[in-house]
């Protein structure tokens, strides 16, 4: 063994540990919002499919619809806002125009001022193609947007099921 390196426990491989972590995250997801809409001709790129940047817009649309649906006037900080500090998409199958899609948003375990959001973009038909899986870390910030603030109590309760 190299000095400074760590040994994994002999009864569990790194791959098994990673799979267990993913399974824990999956079990902790709470459905938050779903939205259905039609792709637009202008969403496509020169390759003839929806441009990869547009998938992030689809997730943004679901996230902002969810945020708008919250009754923040009765929360512990009604002037707070959300920002994302990272975003990721795993592109599975290209979306081809025309197409009706569903964006499903879920939330993970809450931290003090943030939580991980999860997205699945799929065909609107039951049992339809899954096009993309994504994530974005959402942070609650003060009205100036320059300092994190605790999650509103109602959001925390929602995320804790």
pLDDT digits (tens, 9 = 90+) for 5-49: 555 555 678 778 766 766 667 677 999 999 999 999 999 999 999
| Phi–psi pair at 69, nearest 5 degrees | -80, -10
Place of tokens 């943004």: 60
Contacts of 108 (CB under 8 A, 6+ apart): 25, 28, 29, 30, 115, 116, 117, 118, 159
| Class of domain 37-159 (CATH, top level) | alpha beta
**pTM reported for the whole predicted model:** 0.83
In angstroms and rounded to an integer, the radius of gyration of the C-alpha atoms of the chain is: 19
Condensed to tens digits (0 to 9), the pLDDT of residues 102-115 reads 999 999 999 999 99
Cα separation of 72 and 66, whole Å? 12
**Is the torsion defined by CA of 133, 107, 22, 84 positive or negative?**
positive
pLDDT of residue 21: 66
Model confidence at 97: pLDDT above 90: yes
């Amino acid at each position: 063994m190299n000095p400074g390196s760590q040994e994994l426990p002999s009864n569990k491989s790194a791959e098994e540990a990673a799979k267990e972590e993913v399974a824990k995250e999956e079990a902790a997801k709470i459905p938050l919002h779903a939205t259905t809409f039609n792709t637009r001709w202008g969403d496509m790129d020169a390759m003839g499919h929806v441009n990869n940047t547009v998938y992030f817009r689809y997730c943004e649309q679901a996230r902002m619809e969810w945020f708008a649906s919250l009754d923040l006037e009765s929360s512990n900080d009604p002037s707070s806002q959300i920002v994302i500090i990272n975003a990721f998409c795993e592109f599975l199958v290209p979306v081809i125009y025309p197409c009706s899609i569903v964006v499903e948003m879920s939330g993970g375990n809450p931290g003090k001022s943030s939580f991980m959001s999860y997205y699945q973009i799929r065909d609107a038909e039951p049992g339809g193609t899954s096009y993309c899986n994504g994530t974005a870390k959402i942070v609650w910030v003060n009205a100036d947007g320059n300092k994190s603030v605790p999650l509103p109590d109602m959001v925390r309760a929602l995320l804790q099921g």
